[in-house]
Structure 1
Amino acid sequence: MKFIRFSFLSIIIILVFSCGKKTEECQIDQEILDLDLTVKITRLEDEFFNASSKEDFEFLLEKYPDFAEDYLGKSLYTSPDSLISELIAIHQDSAMTLLYDSVKFQFQDFSDIEKDLENAFKSIKYYFPEFKVPKVYTFLSGFNSDLIITEDLIVIGLDYYLPTTHSFQPDLPRYMAERYDRPFIVPMIITALSSRFNEINPQDNTMLAEMIYYGKAYHFTKAILPCTSDQFIIGYTEDEIAECYANEEYIWAHFVENELLYETNPFDITKYLGEAPFTDAISTKAPGRLGRWLGWNIVDDYQFNQDGSLPELMANPDAEQIFRQSGYRPRPGN
């Protein structure tokens, strides 16, 4: 069997029938929205590019010590002056000035991202009261980093998220670069934050364990961002998602017949879960990371059948138990 193209009507039918468990009514509990939590994103690219003198940069490094250390690596320099000299050189670079102008134009209004992050942090705080809300900064990285996430701060490299049609693009394969666009910013952050709560068994190095890990990460992101389309969580197009569901029986059969679930060879695991333009072991028309997508379906079925809480799911390190109790069965295609 091979991946095939469907008419627009077929895609709609598949999405409605097969994706029903992932298209719950889009709403956030009012109890979550009422939490006393505010997110204010600080636009550091503006402050740093408006600085011009050594004194200006000294002031900014003192004003944002967490950013200076965790992002700029201040302590790695022989002296603050050497870091400042580098910042001034970047400030005077004509290419960086053009890049800054592009970022400033494309991201004049960042209020939608700010509000989405605020609601997402409220949801995380609701489910995980121990969650410490980090400071959030934007910056112009010069395509050095897309996201920096620590316990205390998040730095968004806005140049990575310019429109995919823009002349400035990160040095990434096209299939990955297409996921660096504005709608992916918040889902990327939340998926990354899920790792703080995603308990694993370090002794389990099977493909199934990797699949369940990613499945829990995506399920977490969807639970925190219920109004976000699946395509911005997993990074597949709508057509690719529809085709995956239409071929789910075939995909699952491939994993079972080739005894992949308990495979421990890292090379083989990477073929099905690692970044790639397609999963060629199945089909050159199948998107990459299919093992992650299957893991998401398994975890969704587990949560549906067990009716457990999000914290209980994330705290469960037993991939085998999650798989066995999921009752997972692939949805039949057309």
Structure 2
Amino acid sequence: MEKLFFEDLTEEKLGETLENYPGFSSAMFGYMGFENQTQLKEELLAIHRDSGMLELYEEVSLHFDDIAGIETSLEDAFRGILFHFPEFKVPDVYTFVTGFGTDLIVEEDLIVIGLDYFLPADHRFQPVELPQYIVKRYTEEHLIPTIVTAISSRFNRTDLGDRTLLAEMIFYGKAYHFTKSILPCTPDEYIIGYEKEEIFGSYANEEMIWGHFIENELLYETNAFEIRRYVGEAPFTDVISPDAPGRIGRWLGWNIVDDFRMNNDLSLRELMNQEDAREIFKRSGYKPR
């Protein structure tokens, strides 16, 4: 879609584009809250004629001059999801240059990829006002796993009444297991967003990490602040160690879910349909490696 909004843009062409792509237009611009279409067009014309935005578009066009690899990877992912969930409706997929306004939109009927977010880490254009531990996950290698993980939520049944840390851990664990099942050749670091060294370090210290959860009776914790310490975004899990990566509870949940499926010989659909986190934990037989 970026070419339609940046190359030879006129008011007439803009109006035709908005009319011809209503799904994209609603998802991308619906939140802007203008009273009428005229105001929206005026703002979009100003944005996409801005010299800084034009320069960003040119840089994105140079780096993403060929997106065949992204297309092929998405097609493979969609085929994998359809194999396990034939009812899955393949969404329309659009790319765009958002001016670092939107990284990804993943809805049931459409996906929008903000290509500017996925420029190389050493590129002079980078997302602003984001911490480095999050920025480092905006790479092409993370793109498809992130999309698949987002899609997993529509198949990830959960008990909304269970507000425990364990429930959060299992929810994310199922999401990452889903993604690994659909993208079996994708390294774990691109699925969970850790550095390779953080993956190795977590496995090397899994017994100590698990011991912290057990000794502090965390699994059935319901305090939202405490839960965020273990599954929320953070550069590290300071209550365990400055060397323990953030979101360590999600990583543990992934290990528990892996063991649950393996030890109970379940299909991916059967796994995702299991909504009782306590039952998953109980039947997982999980022990640190």
TM-score in same-fold range (> 0.5): yes
Counterparts in 2 of 1:313-328, with a 5 A limit? 313-328=271-286
C-alpha distance in 2 between matches for 1:217 and 1:128: 15
Partner deviation per Cα, 1:129-179 (whole Å, 9 max, x = no partner): 111110000001111111011111100011111111111111210000000
C-alpha distance in 2 between matches for 1:189 and 1:156: 9
Q: Which amino acid aligns with 2:44?
A: L
One of 152, 167, 181 as aligned partner of 1:194: 152
Which structure has more RCO (C-alpha within 8 Å, separation ≥ 6)? Answer: 1
Moved over 6 A (4+): none
1:117 maps onto 2:46 in alignment: no
One of 236, 254, 278 as aligned partner of 2:194: 236
Residues 191 and 220, structure 1, Cα contact 8 Å, conserved in 2:
yes
What residue is the counterpart of 2:177 in the other structure?
A: 219
1:129 maps onto 2:73 in alignment: no
The Cα of 1:77 is off from its aligned counterpart by 2.5
The Cα of 1:51 is off from its aligned counterpart by 3.8
C-alpha distance in 1 between matches for 2:175 and 2:8: 40
1:57 maps onto 2:14 in alignment: yes
The Cα of 1:75 is off from its aligned counterpart by 8.9
One of 158, 163, 186 as aligned partner of 2:120: 163
Partner deviation per Cα, 1:270-291 (whole Å, 9 max, x = no partner): 0010000000000001110000
Identity level (%): 58
Question: What SS does structure 2 have at the residue aligned with 1:72?
Answer: helix
What residue is the counterpart of 2:40 in the other structure?
A: 83
The Cα of 1:86 is off from its aligned counterpart by 1.0
Q: Which amino acid aligns with 2:102?
A: S
Q: Which amino acid aligns with 1:187?
A: P
Partner deviation per Cα, 1:281-309 (whole Å, 9 max, x = no partner): 00001110000000000000111101100
TM-score of the two chains, using structure 2 as the length reference: 0.98
One of 245, 249, 258 as aligned partner of 1:291: 249
The Cα of 1:76 is off from its aligned counterpart by 3.6
The Cα of 1:102 is off from its aligned counterpart by 1.1
Unaligned 5+ runs, structure 2 = none
Question: What SS does structure 2 have at the residue aligned with 1:144?
Answer: coil
1:251 maps onto 2:184 in alignment: no
Unaligned 5+ runs, structure 1 = 1-43
The Cα of 1:74 is off from its aligned counterpart by 7.9
CA RMSD of aligned residues (A): 1.1
Residues 208 and 261, structure 1, Cα contact 8 Å, conserved in 2:
yes
C-alpha distance in 1 between matches for 2:41 and 2:242: 49
C-alpha distance in 1 between matches for 2:138 and 2:54: 21
Residues 256 and 286, structure 2, Cα contact 8 Å, conserved in 1:
yes
The Cα of 1:207 is off from its aligned counterpart by 0.3
Residues 146 and 160, structure 1, Cα contact 8 Å, conserved in 2:
yes
1:330 maps onto 2:281 in alignment: no
Question: What SS does structure 2 have at the residue aligned with 1:197?
Answer: coil
C-alpha distance in 1 between matches for 2:33 and 2:223: 37
1:174 maps onto 2:121 in alignment: no
